[in-house]
Structure 1
Amino acid sequence: MSSPCRSADSPVLGSVDAPLVRVQGLLDRLGQVEDPRDPRGVRYGLATLLAIGVCALSASGHNSLTAIAEWVRRCEQRELSRLGCPFDPFTGRYRVPDERTLRDVYAKVDPADLTAVGYGYLTALARPGSASLTPDGVGEREQRRAHRAPAGDPTRRGAIAVDGKCLRGAKRRDGSQVFILSAVRHADAVTLAARQIPAKTNEISEFAPLLDQIADTDLTNTVVTADALHAQRAHAVYLVEQRHAHYLFTVKDNQPSLAAQLRALPCKQVPVLHRQSSRGHGRHEIREVQVVTVNDLLFPHARQAVRIRRRRRRPDTKTWATEIVYAITDLPTHEARPAEIATWAREHWTIENSVHWIRDVTFGEDASQIRTHNTPAVMAALRDIVRSTIRLAGWANTASARRAHTIPDAALTLHGIP
């Protein structure tokens, strides 16, 4: 099966009539990641080793370091040359890194630096005039899926979801599990920043450092959505006063005083300002949104309290399950319509459905027992690059795209490695 990207010195993307823009290839981008190794005795370039991981993970069935090493051993000499592997003049062949080399290097790479470089590459691919609308090799079935994918309701602001994920198979030497906190764009599920949470701490203390990693990205007027764990006063102050952004936080009983205030609001007297019904994933769901303007909540900059009532039932039953969720935002009524708030609240689950679930199910992340130093977070960053590139290339199904790139040449072409 052919690759969904065109072969070129670097990927040439764009529609037929639009001016074509050459995007710097992934191998060149990965050269910007800081190499933590002592330069003495280095045989393989860091960009080469990282590119091998990305291209191998793009092929179905290659989810572990062992599989990545097997993938590169099966590459032909021409493909090893494209990856930048060193040439051995004594054997007349290109050298192939083994699993131990990959393992040792990945353990030392800064995952935050790798994520930042990957974000720069993906941003260039997603830029207007650079993204391919119907790439070569994307089958008719995939194009129909992408066309049927529901588009988010139009909003006046971009939104970023912040959420943590436990790598269930990876454990540190002290037995503690590895957690990664990520910031993901609602619009295209591209990961902006990721941060491995140190032992003996939690997501709360890493919220601001995570967003500080994208300090060069202007968050002004951007809405940051987060679950109840991050409904913290310090987070609200940081977003509004330091980053000039906005927040939409879910509120639960981890903030008992605030939750009690929201439950005491006269919601029965407030009309439903937005209602949406949807069918999919084996259920029928109705969402109703009520919004109350507030000025005296015990939470910094809070301007609106939101009550979201979700009713769900399976097609084969008439019984409805009801869930009520409360949220708060600093945006006043004239700056955030109920429909917009409903969209941000619903699309916050992008990070679960389009990022965490795909990494768990399609890439087998939870089953991975990689645990050495930074390796779990580095592998997660590589998976994110693959996942986002496939999405931007026009594939609606990641597993199908990986099956289409089992041939090394197709994977290298997908990532713009000439």
Structure 2
Amino acid sequence: MLVAAGTVAAPPGLLDALAQVPDPRDRRGVRFKLVTLLAVGVCAMTCAGHNSLTAIAEWVRRLDQDVLARLGCPFDPFAGRFRAPGERTLRDVFARVDPGALTAAGFARLATLAGTPADALGPDGVREREQRRAHRAAIRASEQPPPRRQAFAVDGKCLRGAVRADGSRAFIITAVRHGDTLTAALREIGAKTNEIPAFAPLLDAVDDSDLAGAVVTVDALHAQKEHARYVVEDRRAHYLLSVKNNQPTLARQLRALPWRDVPILHRSRDRGHGREEVREVKVCSVDGLMFPHAWQVVRIHRKRRRMGTKRWQTETVYAVTDLSAHQAGAAEIAAWARG
């Protein structure tokens, strides 16, 4: 709801979602509720575009009293005003809050907004932006049928500008929903480990109702037999795993399949970001592959060139999935692989 020029109060339901995040602080001496500080951060970043703690603190300091009240800021009876949190308070709390719990709360809130009509989203600019986005999505949907299953992409990333106390860079692993790119789960990777041990704990944070029957897409690092068994047997979901030379035996098996005899089942051509890409997809059903629950092997041949040039760069990648041919066609697999 717009309450003042350049300021936006917490929308209904946001405070309820953020209230699910556990407070890591000692109860003694707490002046600002955790839900209030989190709502300040969310509103400052999403509504005002601020991405630094200094800018967030300045933003909340300039808010009107009725906005501070809606955010849950405490009332100072001596000054007769609602108090705004300072930069030090925000910095201390944001550094200690559990990112996984915050991500889960945010995903729950955004999931409820995903089906909200554009007319109910607020100012005219927001409605127009959502209408344009819906129009582009409708065009893409008319070009090819959407996948029949929801999909989550698991990937590790380095947090740009984030440094741990020992000077090492901070890495996280996330599970992001295809299509609307909502982050369903997030987990920090320890300084002395990698993404592989964090795979199952990350997906443990995704609700069974969201993950059951969905497809988990991951890069070659997670082409692990334990991961495949966990996704299929423990979570009742499906996988699409890229395969490279970190699994040399499996990679040799995939390359040795009779691909010359397999027809191209899906072809796409895209232009954007100053380049053109052609993708050709072949899919082969297998039996007895040395990988748990594998039913289909995917071969994606990519050709890329910069616009205005004639030289093409080619790349061939392979992937495996536990979905059979009647459960997932080549176009669906291509959409998941790209998503």
Taking structure 1 as the reference length, the TM-score comes to 0.74
Partner of 2:68: 80
Deviation digits for residues 271-328 of structure 1, max 9, x if unmatched?
1111112222222221110111111222111111110011122331222211111111
Following superposition, the deviation at residue 218 of structure 1 comes to 4.3
What is the distance in 1 between the residues matched to 2:134 and 2:261?
41
Which is worse superposed, 330-339 or 224-233? 330-339
Following superposition, the deviation at residue 175 of structure 1 comes to 2.5
In the alignment, residue 118 of structure 2 is paired with which amino acid? S
In the alignment, residue 42 of structure 1 is paired with which amino acid? V
Change (3 A) 1:9 1:177: closer
Partner of 1:207: 199
Structure with larger RCO (C-alpha < 8 A, sep 6+): 1
Change (3 A) 1:162 1:315: same
Partner of 1:314: 306
**Does 1:248 find its partner at 2:240?**
yes
8 Å Cα contact 1:153-1:343 kept in structure 2:
no
Partner of 1:165: 157
**Helix, strand or coil for the counterpart of 1:100?**
helix
Alpha-carbon RMSD:
2.3
What is the distance in 2 between the residues matched to 1:156 and 1:333?
13
State how 1:296-315 maps to structure 2 within 5 Å. Answer: 296-315=288-307
Partner of 2:231: 239
Partner of 2:327: 335
Match 2:146 to one of 148, 154, 158: 154
Match 1:260 to one of 232, 252, 258: 252
**Helix, strand or coil for the counterpart of 1:184?**
strand
Following superposition, the deviation at residue 199 of structure 1 comes to 1.9
State how 1:88-107 maps to structure 2 within 5 Å. Answer: 88-107=76-95
**Does 1:115 find its partner at 2:98?**
no
Partner of 1:360: none
What is the distance in 2 between the residues matched to 1:217 and 1:201?
30
Structure with more of its chain in strand, by fraction: 2
**Does 1:132 find its partner at 2:118?**
yes
In the alignment, residue 280 of structure 1 is paired with which amino acid? G
The alignment covers a number of residue pairs equal to 329
In the alignment, residue 98 of structure 1 is paired with which amino acid? G
Partner of 2:318: 326
Change (3 A) 1:48 1:141: closer
**Helix, strand or coil for the counterpart of 2:118?**
coil
Match 2:287 to one of 282, 287, 295: 295
What is the distance in 2 between the residues matched to 1:108 and 1:145?
36
State how 1:266-415 maps to structure 2 within 5 Å. Answer: 266-347=258-339
What is the distance in 2 between the residues matched to 1:84 and 1:141?
31
Following superposition, the deviation at residue 168 of structure 1 comes to 3.1
Partner of 1:37: 25
In the alignment, residue 209 of structure 1 is paired with which amino acid? P
What is the distance in 2 between the residues matched to 1:148 and 1:159?
20
Change (3 A) 1:235 1:30: same
Which is worse superposed, 273-282 or 243-252? 273-282
What is the distance in 1 between the residues matched to 2:25 and 2:108?
23
In the alignment, residue 254 of structure 1 is paired with which amino acid? N
**Helix, strand or coil for the counterpart of 2:326?**
helix
**Does 1:70 find its partner at 2:58?**
yes
What is the distance in 2 between the residues matched to 1:169 and 1:281?
25
In the alignment, residue 321 of structure 2 is paired with which amino acid? T
**Does 1:196 find its partner at 2:168?**
no
What is the distance in 2 between the residues matched to 1:133 and 1:230?
42
In the alignment, residue 285 of structure 1 is paired with which amino acid? E
Change (3 A) 1:48 1:86: same
**Helix, strand or coil for the counterpart of 1:44?**
coil
8 Å Cα contact 2:110-2:182 kept in structure 1:
yes
Following superposition, the deviation at residue 333 of structure 1 comes to 1.3
In the alignment, residue 88 of structure 1 is paired with which amino acid? D
**Does 1:25 find its partner at 2:13?**
yes
Taking structure 2 as the reference length, the TM-score comes to 0.90
8 Å Cα contact 1:164-1:180 kept in structure 2:
yes
State how 1:211-226 maps to structure 2 within 5 Å. Answer: 211-226=203-218
Following superposition, the deviation at residue 147 of structure 1 comes to 1.6
Percent of aligned pairs sharing the same letter: 62
Following superposition, the deviation at residue 146 of structure 1 comes to 4.4
Gaps of 5+ in 1: 12-23, 348-418
Which is worse superposed, 138-147 or 229-238? 138-147
Following superposition, the deviation at residue 145 of structure 1 comes to 5.1
Gaps of 5+ in 2: none
Partner of 1:393: none
What is the distance in 2 between the residues matched to 1:132 and 1:139?
8
Deviation digits for residues 117-138 of structure 1, max 9, x if unmatched?
11111111124xx343574422
What is the distance in 2 between the residues matched to 1:229 and 1:82?
46
Following superposition, the deviation at residue 10 of structure 1 comes to 8.7
Change (3 A) 1:96 1:164: same
Deviation digits for residues 180-199 of structure 1, max 9, x if unmatched?
11111112111111111122
Deviation digits for residues 162-181 of structure 1, max 9, x if unmatched?
11110132121223211111
8 Å Cα contact 1:227-1:249 kept in structure 2:
yes
